[in-house]
């Protein structure tokens, strides 16, 4: 909605090499229609250079970045990037799918223009829910036009917000579920959620670093990442590791490319991808330790199997 509503042929948009396909696919489509696209490279740990972003923003209409990579867990400095975009007179759209409800975001002080979030991750809402924050004064062309329940005397789409972007009957049951999730998170406090996830991620990263043949991808420091941790086991495909975790240990993980092939090219894990853990509020230190122990056993099994094959 944000990308198609803002960009027209002749505009230029800047993004990063660690974006999810929810950003990359609509941008590639818009590129085919005449929108100029600049993809700024990132480091192997998923970190972005503010200097590179600043240089790329010269003459751009829009900057769009993730707040945290769904592959590496790397958190981008959206406050700093918002200031750069403002100085270059570009709008700034943030993909907060991985951070809403997990990492504090103050839209009163962080001057982003648009922020998209999903409901089914850190906000504990049902799948198929989410939202788009649009700063007052930013004009977006509707993605869909139709009945809105307001201004019914006219046969043209309402021009006022949010009605301009809300055609059709909304998912009322889903929104009610999202509201319940938001109230739950508000009761805990986002700062507490972030601290808990960082403790678990740090516990796992520190322990996994001691396991031979296990490589953890992404930032080294806990302050630079959210609760997402991707890793590889040398000599074992991510899909096989995920299957062993599931069938032998009852541990669920996401394997493969995570709908973010550009991010995996950046990390050097394309085309096989990685194994990804997403530590959340309901995970415990004991579960982290069990996952580490499972990895030790998987590495031991694969080492023994490799030796037997020689």
Q: Identify the CATH number of the domain in which residue 36 sits.
A: 3.40.640.10
Domain count, the chain: 2
If asked whether residues 141 and 84 sit together in one domain, one would say yes
Which two three-digit tokens encode residue 85? 């975009």
Tokens 């809105």, located at residue: 148
pLDDT of res. 134: 97
pLDDT of res. 309: 63
If asked whether residues 14 and 46 sit together in one domain, one would say yes
If asked whether residues 222 and 139 sit together in one domain, one would say no
pLDDT of res. 300: 96
State the DSSP code for 306: H
Q: How many CB atoms lie within 10 A of CB 173?
A: 10
If asked whether residues 254 and 283 sit together in one domain, one would say yes
Domain limits for position 287:
190-309
Last residue of a domain, one of 187, 220, 254: 187
Q: Which residues of 134-164 are buried (b: 16+ CB within 10 A; e: fewer)?
A: beeeeebebeeeeebeeeeeeeebbeeeeeb
Last residue of a domain, one of 155, 187, 219: 187
If asked whether residues 226 and 183 sit together in one domain, one would say no
- Taking the C-alpha atoms of residue 226 and residue 75, their distance in angstroms, rounded to an integer, is 7
State the pTM of this model.
0.94
pLDDT of res. 142: 96
Residues 6+ positions from 241 with CB-CB distance below 8 Å: 233, 253, 255, 275, 298
pLDDT of res. 178: 98
If asked whether residues 65 and 102 sit together in one domain, one would say yes
If asked whether residues 108 and 84 sit together in one domain, one would say yes
If asked whether residues 183 and 71 sit together in one domain, one would say yes
Q: Identify the CATH number of the domain in which residue 237 sits.
A: 3.90.1150.10
Residue-wise pLDDT tens for the chain (310 aa)?
A: 999 999 999 999 999 999 999 999 999 999 999 999 999 999 998 889 999 999 999 999 999 999 999 999 999 999 999 999 999 999 999 999 999 999 999 999 999 999 999 999 999 999 999 999 999 999 999 999 999 889 999 999 999 999 999 999 999 999 999 999 999 999 999 999 999 999 999 999 999 999 999 999 999 887 889 999 999 999 999 999 999 999 999 999 999 999 999 999 999 999 999 999 999 999 999 999 999 999 999 999 998 887 766 5
If asked whether residues 209 and 304 sit together in one domain, one would say yes
If asked whether residues 266 and 303 sit together in one domain, one would say yes
Which two three-digit tokens encode residue 160? 């006022």
Give the 3-state secondary structure percentages of the chain, helix then strand then coil, rounded to 5: 40, 15, 45
Dump strand ranges (E) for the chain: 12-16, 36-40, 62-66, 91-95, 114-118, 130-134, 214-217, 228-233, 254-256, 274-278
pLDDT of res. 25: 98
CA distances from 299 to 76, 77, 87, 229 (A): 32, 36, 50, 18
């Amino acid at each position: 909605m944000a990308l198609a509503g803002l960009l027209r042929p002749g505009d230029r948009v800047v993004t990063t090499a660690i974006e999810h396909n929810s950003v990359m696919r609509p941008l590639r489509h818009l590129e085919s229609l005449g929108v100029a696209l600049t993809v700024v490279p990132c480091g192997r740990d998923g970190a972005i250079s503010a200097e590179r972003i600043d240089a790329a923003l010269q003459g751009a209409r829009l900057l769009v970045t993730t707040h945290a990579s769904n592959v590496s867990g790397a958190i981008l400095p959206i406050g700093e990037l918002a200031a750069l975009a403002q100085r270059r007179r570009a709008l700034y759209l943030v993909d907060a799918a991985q951070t809403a409800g997990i990492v504090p975001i103050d839209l009163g002080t962080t001057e982003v223009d648009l922020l998209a979030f999903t409901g089914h991750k850190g906000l504990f809402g049902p799948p198929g829910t989410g939202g788009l924050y649009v700063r007052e004064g930013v004009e977006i062309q509707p993605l869909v036009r139709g009945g809105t329940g307001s201004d019914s005397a006219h046969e043209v789409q309402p021009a006022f917000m949010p009605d301009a972007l809300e055609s059709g009957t909304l998912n009322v049951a889903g929104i009610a579920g999202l509201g319940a999730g938001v109230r739950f998170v508000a009761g805990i406090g986002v700062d507490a959620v972030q601290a808990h996830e960082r403790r678990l991620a740090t516990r796992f990263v520190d322990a996994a670093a001691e396991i031979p043949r296990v490589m953890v991808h992404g930032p080294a420091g806990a302050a630079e990442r959210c609760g997402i941790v991707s890793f590889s086991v040398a000599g074992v495909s991510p899909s096989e590791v995920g299957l062993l975790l599931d069938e032998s240990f009852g541990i669920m993980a996401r394997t493969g490319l995570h709908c973010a092939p550009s991010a995996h090219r950046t990390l050097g894990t394309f085309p096989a991808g990685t194994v990804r853990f997403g530590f959340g509020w309901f995970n415990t230190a004991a579960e982290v330790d069990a996952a580490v122990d499972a990895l030790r056993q998987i590495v031991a099994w694969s080492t023994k199997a490799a030796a037997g094959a020689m």
